[in-house]
């Protein structure tokens, strides 16, 4: 029987992924964990326990006690917060992944999921249609931790046969949860401001193009990768995946089509420099070839869906006028 432990389950991705895993495998098969006890509220009836992933012995005894068979290791510090706390970001992102990989080797666990990011790329990476394999020279501590993490995943697979799988997510945009300190967070905040009836001040430049993905596509990709037969997984560092490449102005225009009075201004801050070193678009042909990846949402479809669903999850927001 499957027992799936999720770390960082109260985060932007964790909240939605945990609900979907509970739907697919049943609530009893899930153990959601997070450092923050407040995460439990967001996860409704799904079994929850507080866990600091830096506490190796509590982590190991929980795996043992609950007879965990799979870990989705999501807990991390993202790019923007990481630049303000570089040592802490490195210790958490790197240390906790090594703990998970060691647990997988010793127990052994059946499968591990760990997300990487487009943050592994840097200024010398080809910026358009960024290939699966190319120069990676990340400039943020977050990107360095993801790059090193990818190498460790590949190493544990080659050396010890650990079935670890990974995706290099672009910026994720969801309607059900708030982002936690990334460079792509503008693309969630903007929808909230639009439905509050407030103008939005964007921290990236108007024409800063970045790869992004609507959360239902990210969840679909994650489940497809994890359900694929091991023989289909040819990349054990992390797969490029892609859905859309968009600028703040394009997101703004797509909202304007539904809310004609919405206003935006631009005040780029330190996050602009991070975004400038990331790709504009991603070549995800390996994911398409190996396990059949195909996104469902483009920008207009995502905007319509988000504006419709947001007031349900954040009741202080106005509904879209008919
Ligand atoms: P988030 O910041 O929203 O959530 C992270 C969660 O980890 C939080 O709930 C936090 O309480 C928890 N956490 C922090 N320290 C912890 C600790 N010591 N022990 C246990 N839990 C701890 O992040 P997210 O956006 O949900 O990202 C989840 C994963 O996906 C991360 O690994 C991130 O790098 C990756 N990712 C996210 C995006 C994105 O756009 N959201 C893009 C690429 C990759
Ligand atoms: C961030 O901006 O840090 C994340 C990411 C792309 O990894 N959203």
Q: In angstroms, what is the span from residue 119 Cα to ligand 2's centroid?
A: 7
Asked if residue 301 belongs to a domain, the reply is yes
Domain-embedded: residue 61: yes
Residues 145-165 have a mean pLDDT of 98
Nearest to 103 by CA among 5, 233, 18: 5
Rounded distance from Cα 239 to ligand 1 centre (Å): 19
| pLDDT higher than 80, residue 199 | yes
Ligand 1 site, residue 171, Cβ cutoff 6 A: yes
Residues 84 and 184 in one domain: no
Tell me the pairing of strands 210-214 and 244-246: antiparallel
**Across residues 261-271, what is the average pLDDT?**
98
> Does one domain contain both 64 and 48?
yes
Per cent of the chain over pLDDT 70 is 100
Q: Percent of the chain scored above 90 by pLDDT?
A: 97
> For the chain, what is the HEC assignment?
CCCEEEECCCCHHHHHHHHHHHHHHCHHHEEEEECCCCHHHHCCCCCEEECCCCCHHHHHHHHHHCCCCEEEECCCCCHHHHHHCHHHHHHHHHHHHHHHHHHHHHCCCCEEECCEEHHHCCCCCCCCCECCCCCCCCCCHHHHHHHHHHHHHHHHHHHHCCCEECEEECEEECCCCCCCCCCCCHHHHHHHHHHHCCCEEECCCCCCCEEEEEHHHHHHHHHHHHHCCHHHCCCCCCEECCCEEECHHHHHHHHHCCCCCCCEEECCCHHHHHHHCCCCCECCHHHHHHHCCCCCCCHHHHHHHHHHHHHHHCCCCCCCCC
pLDDT in tens, 175-197: 999 999 999 999 999 999 999 99
Residues 95 and 188 in one domain: no
Do 69 and 123 share a domain, yes or no?
yes
> Are 158 and 254 contained in the same domain?
no
pLDDT of 10 over the 80 cut:
yes
Give residue 321's pLDDT band: very low, low, confident or very high (50, 70, 90): confident
Quote the ligand 1 centre to 259 CA distance (angstroms): 31
User: Same domain, yes or no, for 236 and 307?
Assistant: no
Query: In angstroms, what is the span from residue 143 Cα to ligand 2's centroid?
Result: 9
Q: Which two tokens stand for residue 37?
A: 């006890």
The answer to whether residue 321 sits within a structural domain is no
The answer as to whether 34 is a domain residue is yes
> With a 6 A CB cut-off, is 34 part of the ligand 1 pocket?
yes
Residue with tokens 């398409």: 288
Same domain membership, residue 77 and residue 32: yes
On whether both 178 and 94 belong to a single domain, the answer is no
Last-in-domain residue among 240, 255, 276: 240
On the question of pLDDT at 128 being above 80, the answer is yes
Q: Do 10 and 114 share a structural domain?
A: yes
Residues in the chain: 322
From 19, 53, 74, 142, mutation site for ligand 1 pocket: most ligand atoms within 8 A of C-beta = 74
Which of the residues 142, 156, 186, 252 is marked catalytic?
142
Mean pLDDT of the chain: 97
What CATH number corresponds to the domain at position 95?
3.40.50.720
* Ligand 2 neighbourhood includes 13 CB (under 6 angstroms): no
Considering the domain architecture, whether residues 75 and 179 belong to the same structural domain is answered as: no
Q: Does position 322 have pLDDT exceeding 80, yes or no?
A: no
pLDDT at 1 over 90: no
Q: What is the pLDDT of residues 90-117, one digit of tens each?
A: 999 999 999 999 999 998 899 999 999 9
**Do 236 and 251 belong together in one domain?**
no
State residue 192's pLDDT score: 98
* pLDDT tens, position by position, 17-76: 999 999 999 999 999 999 999 999 999 899 999 999 999 999 999 999 999 999 999 999
- Beta-carbon count within 10 A of 305 CB: 15
What is the per-residue pLDDT for 153? 98
Inside any domain, residue 75: yes
What does the alpha-carbon distance between residue 63 and residue 71 come to, in Å, rounded to a whole number?
9
Which of these, 63, 162, 155, lies nearest to 113 by C-alpha position? Answer: 162
Rounded Cα–Cα distance for residues 202 and 267 (Å): 6
The CATH number assigned to the domain holding 200 equals 3.90.25.10
Q: Which residue has the tokens 């439990």?
A: 40
Q: What is the mean pLDDT of residues 222-241?
A: 98
Residue 71 CB partners (closer than 8 Å, separation 6+): 4, 5, 6, 7, 63, 100, 103, 104, 109, 112, 113
Asked whether residue 318 is assigned to any structural domain, the reply reads no
Atom of ligand 2 nearest to the CA of 80: 3
Q: For the whole model, what pTM was predicted?
A: 0.98
Range of 66's domain?
Answer: 4-169+215-240
Output the residue whose Cα is nearest ligand 1's atom 17.
Answer: 52
pLDDT band at 292 (very low <50, low <70, confident <90, very high): very high
Residue 86 pLDDT level (bands cut at 50, 70, 90): very high
Same domain, 10 and 86: yes
In a domain, 69, yes or no: yes
Does the active-site annotation cover 156?
no
Number of domains in the chain: 2
Query: Domain for residue 320, yes or no?
Result: no
Ligand 1 pocket test target in 9, 10, 73, 75 with most atoms within 8 Å of CB: 75
């Amino acid at each position: 029987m499957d027992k799936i432990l999720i770390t960082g389950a109260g985060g932007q991705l964790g909240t939605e992924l945990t609900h979907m895993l509970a739907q697919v495998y049943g609530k009893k098969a899930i153990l959601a964990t997070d450092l923050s006890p407040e995460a439990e509220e967001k996860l409704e009836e799904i079994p929850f326990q507080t866990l600091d992933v830096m506490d190796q012995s509590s982590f190991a005894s929980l795996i043992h006690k609950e007879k965990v068979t799979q870990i989705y290791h999501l807990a991390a510090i993202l790019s923007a917060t990481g630049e303000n706390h570089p040592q802490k970001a490195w210790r958490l992102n790197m240390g906790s992944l090594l703990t998970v990989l060691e647990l997988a080797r010793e127990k052994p666990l059946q499968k591990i999921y760990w997300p990487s990011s487009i943050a592994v790329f840097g200024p010398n990476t080809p910026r358009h249609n960024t290939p699966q394999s190319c120069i990676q020279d990340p400039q943020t501590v977050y990107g360095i931790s993801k790059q090193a993490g990818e190498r460790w995943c590949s190493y544990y697979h080659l050396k010890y046969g650990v079935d670890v799988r990974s995706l290099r997510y672009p910026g994720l945009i969801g309607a059900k949860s708030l982002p936690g300190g990334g460079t792509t967070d503008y693309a969630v905040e903007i929808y909230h401001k639009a439905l509050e009836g407030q103008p939005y001040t964007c921290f990236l430049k108007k024409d800063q193009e970045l790869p992004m993905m609507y959360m239902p596509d990210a969840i679909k990709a994650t489940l497809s990768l994890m359900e694929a037969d091991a023989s289909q997984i040819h990349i054990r560092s992390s797969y490029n995946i892609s859905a859309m490449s968009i600028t703040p102005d394009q997101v703004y225009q797509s909202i304007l089509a539904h809310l004609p009075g919405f206003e935006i201004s631009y005040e780029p801050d330190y996050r602009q420099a991070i975004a400038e070193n990331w790709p504009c678009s991603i070549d995800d042909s390996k994911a398409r070839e190996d396990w059949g990846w195909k996104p469902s949402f483009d920008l207009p479809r995502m905007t319509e869906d988000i504006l419709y669903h947001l007031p349900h999850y954040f009741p202080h927001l106005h509904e879209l006028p008919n």
